[in-house]
Structure 1
């Protein structure tokens, strides 16, 4: 028997399956998987993170929400993927910690979190997920995640919201690391790669560049919004994503833009995904040379 359309494309509870006309035998069919107790999923459906969360959502208690790495990923934030395939689910006190195969359970304090609905799923807010991850991510990963929260376009949060959340976390596990990360978070970034590049420049002993600065020519016309900028020395550091290479229109704009910047007296050093390891170090030295040629000295920076 073919699955009815209303349950064929995603997970469904036994109750919904019976309401769709599936009998006990059909619900035990070999073409159905059992992601969680009381939940079925067509074997042909890829059980990616969102599908697994929707499956758990079929049995989720009102006191529960998705948390930590799972919440951050559902919000589309740049976090490392889980190697164990588990999903993070928390329950607000005084309810018991969620326990199920495929779930990493957590206890939540209602006064420390806010829960939002995302595509029908109960998920802690993006800022709460950032705070929860302070205990398991590195400081650099928290900076990358923090930058994504206050990014230039469609920012899920503000710096003040991050500051307030950090204050609420005082004394809890990972709170000191979160404070250190917050000090390095910058608003108006465009990508995790841009953040990583900014941190690499600083770690190499170079001054911190400004983020996404509007550049104007001698007539006041805006000619670019540059990724990482050293205005004092008229040096720009750019990270080119794949679209700079693959999109013909973008490539054409880049050619004109680089010419305009050079004409206005700016030195531009470009990075892309191929600049890793030794090639990245050599490229950072190119930035150092450009700054030094424009009058920057390491002793002055100290």
Structure 2
């Protein structure tokens, strides 16, 4: 059996309409694939059942006033950066102890010690985003916790800052996931634009490459602003750029990206463009070697090689 054709990047992390999928080149045959659920006519989703937000809205109709969404469900409500497997989680619903948590099929109940802050987002009662992030540490991998944390302190419309996350982790001492949160803190970086950008940075870090700056303004030789770049080695004029497919699907944005990278190359920058395929396990070593060679070339032949460890498997 031939492997299924991967869906474009924008469709991997959320439900989507048939019309949207067709508009970005997904075939009608692919939309009939058994890996795609059909929660409603004209809609598709990866995995079975409805998406988390739809299930949350349906549950909210019957939710008593003393209940609120928490953990992964709260993270979805806040639009946090989550791995695809999180969409298969049941709804997480909390109450403040000594009230009893709900016992309903498809719902995981949590009894939380007071005080517990509750906010309203889109008509849904939920814990605040920083609390949801702390709760995620008990169910996500270390990298996934970092990706979600970076999303809270992202470049555009951040909902928190590093100081607040440090404060939250200190308050989380003794709770589920506390060690994972403490381990994640040193790896958080403000100013990211996407989950893949964080994943690429972590891949580079595990390989032992020097740490780049995250989305800093890049200046030309006269000190004038040129562009922003994803992962930047300013002194070496090396830019590592994650190229998501959504950039190609938006013609205007794609043209802006082409012009931006052309200007950088005219100023002597080495631009390394990375896509999803480069980050697959079998391609990672070659990607790291490309970056390492670019840094070596920028340093000059007389510089000692950059010491690095092989990528973790």
Shorter-chain TM-score range? 0.7 to 0.9
What residue in structure 1 maps to residue 34 of structure 2?
Answer: none
In the aligned structure 1, how far is the partner of 2:134 from the partner of 2:254? 39
Distance across 2 between alignment mates of 1:146 and 1:58: 30
* The one of 245, 254, 258 aligned to 1:255: 258
TM-superposition CA deviations, 1:74-107 (whole Å, max 9, x none) = 1111223446552000111110121111111111
Paired with 1:298 and 1:156, the residues of 2 have a C-alpha distance of 40
Q: Report the equivalent of 2:114.
A: 110
Deviation track 1:183-211 (CA, whole Å, cap 9, x = no partner) reads: 10000000000000000001111011110
1:88 to 2:92 alignment: yes
1:206 and 1:298 in contact (8 A); partners too: no
Question: Which secondary structure state, in structure 1, belongs to the residue aligned with residue 276 of structure 2?
Answer: coil
For residues 135 and 89 of structure 2, the distance between their equivalents in structure 1, rounded to whole angstroms, comes to 19
For the pair 1:101 / 2:105, whether they are aligned, the reply is yes
Matches within 5 A, 1:150-299: 150-275=153-278, 276-295=280-299, 297=304
Whole-Å separation in 2 of the counterparts to 1:255 and 1:88: 43
- Bigger radius of gyration among the two: 1
117, 133, 142: which one aligns with 1:139: 142
Structure 1, gaps ≥5 residues long: 1-42
State the distance in 2 between where 1:213 and 1:83 align.
33
CA deviations on 1:196-228 (whole Å, 9 max, x unpaired) are 000000111101111001111123321110000
SS in structure 2 of the partner of residue 274 of structure 1? helix
Count residues with an aligned counterpart. 260
Work out which structure has the larger RCO, using CA pairs closer than 8 Å and 6 or more positions apart in sequence. 2
Q: 1 CA distance for matches of 2:89 and 2:233?
A: 43
For structure 1, which segment, 185-194 or 218-227, has the greater mean C-alpha deviation from structure 2 after superposition? 218-227
Q: Distance in 1 between matches of 2:308 and 2:52?
A: 46
Q: Is residue 2:59 matched to residue 1:56?
A: yes
Structure 1 residue 70 corresponds to structure 2 residue 60 = no
1:280 deviation in Å? 3.3
Q: After the TM superposition, which segments of 4 or more aligned residues of structure 1 sit over 6 Å from their partners?
A: 43-46
- Note closer, same or farther for the CA distance 1:175–1:52 as it changes in structure 2 (3 Å cut): same
Q: TM-score under structure 1 normalisation?
A: 0.80
Report the 3-state secondary structure (helix = DSSP H, G, I; strand = E; otherwise coil) of the residue aligned with 2:165: helix
Separation in 1 of the partners of 2:201 and 2:161?
20
* TM-score normalised according to structure 2 size: 0.77
Instruction: Report the CA distance shift for 1:84/1:242 in structure 2 as closer, same or farther (over 3 A).
Output: closer
CA distance in 2 between counterparts of 1:145 and 1:262 reads 32
Specify the SS of the correspondent of 1:294: helix
CA distance in 1, matches of 2:66, 2:42: 28
